[in-house]
Amino acid sequence: MDRRKFVGRSAGLLGAAAIGPSLAGAAIAEAQSGAGPIASLHPFGPPVMPITDEERRARIEKARRLMTENGISAMFLEGGTSMFYYTGVRWGNSERTFGVVIPAKGELAWVTPAFEEQRARELIKFSNDVRTWQEDESPYRVIAQIIRDRGAASGKIGMEERVRFFVFDGVRQELPTAQFVSATPVTAGCRMIKSPAEIAFMQRANDITLQAIGAAFKTLREGMTQQQLSANVGEATTHLGGVGDGALVIFGKYTAFPHGSVQPQKLHEGDVVLIDAGCTVDGYTSDITRTTVFGKPTQRQRDVWETEKRAQSAAFAAAQIGATCESVDAAARKVITAAGFGPGYKVPGLPHRTGHGIGLDGHEWTNFVRGNMTKIQPGMCFSDEPTIVSYGEFGIRLEDCLHITETGPKFFTPQSPSIEKPV
């Protein structure tokens, strides 16, 4: 979505004067709230086709193959994105343990609080083995019995990386004969490679986010706060059919802090404006950053912005099949260093990795970072977001996500055209 112009204080007052005093208040309120640019947005359509049961079964079978290759006899998952990835079940975590055991051989088995059994059975697929525990019983004993029943009690048990320690520790005490290891070779080994159905969800999420950012930029005005602009991004995202909670919004010198500052900020002429936003569509995530200036950019702002875009483009060009993830980071950093920043992580310069994996989680395996020798493969998805920061001055970040096709990298969204036209 192209951004035609910013709506600032002077534009709002001029419009109010032109239409007469009776409508002046309404015109100013609309310019400040973003009602005009945002209320006209409509959901994308048609809906993206959901992930099929057949695809989820194939994911489970791939997990079994990876378990066998890594000598893992069974894998335990709590509620979270990995559980949803394999089974389609969404479940929030509390002190009451709920989870699933995926064995290398045999049927999946679920453990649930007894009073939640009927709700769990409404959601569960791919298995009828649902085991319950009462409030005065141990869920860890139930999980351990499942593992014994699958013949895995003396083998390696993979724990998904976000299983909470108290759950892991409880199961470990019930299975002293087992060896507990990380399940990341299995979960990351599956989830790093996205299917066409997953790519379609991520494409929709990115399309929504870019349009929401574009609409929010039209609401910029003198004196507005970060929270107001963030809320406008969130409102636009909702209008467009995405699920999101606003955006990271940073103004002025605080844009040099990649994740913002605790200091309250109000927008003023000449400020750098950074919006970092994302949303989800059926759980799949987007992540886009655009940086512009409220008013006319200085030559310094323009030069750094152009260097940042060259660095982002260099990273994209380096993200070829068979290349290492660290080589992508090196390509972006080379551009930034050649412009007089850095070297390495030194500021002014690029203080963090060039990009991260993305999918059901906003940040997931694997990363564009020095030392990561993982080879790039078709189906991988990453953010591409080298940042140039100078404390006390400003920071510039341009971020688009990309996926690796059979012929190389492809951005989900067009790169930012210019500092004056961020979308």
Q: What is the mean pLDDT of residues 406-415?
A: 98
Q: For position 28, what pLDDT does the model report? A: 32
Per-residue pLDDT band at 25 (split at 50, 70, 90): very low
Count CA atoms closer than 13 A to 33's CA, side-chain side: 10
d(CA 328, CA 344): 14
- Which letter does DSSP use for residue 243 in this model? B
Q: What is the mean pLDDT of residues 358-363?
A: 97
Query: pLDDT digit string (tens) for 155-209?
Result: 999 999 999 999 999 999 999 999 999 999 999 999 999 999 999 999 999 999 9
Q: What is the mean pLDDT of residues 311-332?
A: 98
Tell me the whole-structure pTM to 2 decimals: 0.89
Taking the domain 53-191, which CATH number applies? 3.40.350.10
Q: What is the largest CA-CA distance in the chain?
A: 82
Q: For position 34, what pLDDT does the model report? A: 57
d(CA 78, CA 84): 10
The answer, yes or no, to whether residue 299 has pLDDT greater than 90, is yes
Q: For position 58, what pLDDT does the model report? A: 98
Count CA atoms closer than 13 A to 153's CA, side-chain side: 14
The answer, yes or no, to whether residue 77 has pLDDT greater than 60, is yes
Mean model confidence pLDDT for the chain? 92
The mean-pLDDT minimum among 8-22, 216-230, 335-349, 388-402 falls in: 8-22
CB 37 within 8 A of CB 2: no
Per-residue pLDDT band at 245 (split at 50, 70, 90): confident
- Distances in Å between the alpha carbon of 15 and those of 25, 223, 262, 297? 11, 18, 35, 25
Q: For position 163, what pLDDT does the model report? A: 98
CATH superfamily of 194-411: Creatinase/methionine aminopeptidase superfamily (3.90.230.10)
List the chain domain ranges.
53-191, 194-411
